[in-house]
Chain A
Amino acid sequence: MTVLQVVALALVAAGGTAVVATRDPLRQAMVVGIFGLSLAALFLVFQAPDVALSQIVVGTVALPVLILFTLAKLKAIEGDEEDDE
Chain B
Amino acid sequence: MSVLPYLVVAWLVLCGLYGIVTSRNLVHLVICLSVVQSSTYVLLLAIGYRKHGLAPIFVDISPHSPVVDPVMQALTLTDIVVEATVSALLLALTVQAKKRFGSVDPAELDPLKG
Contact A20 B19, beta carbon cutoff 8 Å:
yes
Q: Mark A30-71, 1 if CB is under 8 A from B, else 0.
A: 001001000100110011111100110011001100110011
Residues of chain A at interface, number, CB under 8 A: 40
Which of A9, A39, A51, A63 is close to B4, meaning CB atoms less than 8 Å apart? A9
Q: Which residue of A lies closest to B24 (CB)?
A: A23
Give the contact-size bracket for chain B.
Answer: 35 or more
Contact B2 A1, beta carbon cutoff 8 Å:
yes
Interface SS, B side: helix
What is the distance, in angstroms, from B10's C-beta to the closest C-beta of chain A?
10
Task: Give how many A-B residue pairs fall within 8 Å (CB-CB).
Answer: 125
Contact A46 B49, beta carbon cutoff 8 Å:
yes
Contact B77 A51, beta carbon cutoff 8 Å:
yes
Query: Is A74 located at the chain interface by the 8 A CB criterion?
Result: yes
Given the known interface contacts A62-B84, A77-B99, the answer about A70 and B94 at a Cβ–Cβ threshold of 8 Å is yes
Which of B12, B28, B48 is close to A12, meaning CB atoms less than 8 Å apart? B12
- A48–B39 Cα gap in the complex (Å)? 16
Determine the chain A residues whose CB is within 8 A of the CB of B56 once the complex forms: 47
Q: Which residue of B lies closest to A38 (CB)?
A: B38
Contact A20 B15, beta carbon cutoff 8 Å:
yes
Chain A CB within 10 Å, residue with most, of B31, B42, B104: B31
- A9–B41 Cα gap in the complex (Å)? 12
Q: Which residue of B lies closest to A64 (CB)?
A: B31
Which of B27, B34, B49, B80 is close to A70, meaning CB atoms less than 8 Å apart? B27
The 7 closest A-B pairs by CB, nearest first: A20-B19, A25-B27, A47-B55, A70-B91, A47-B68, A16-B12, A46-B45
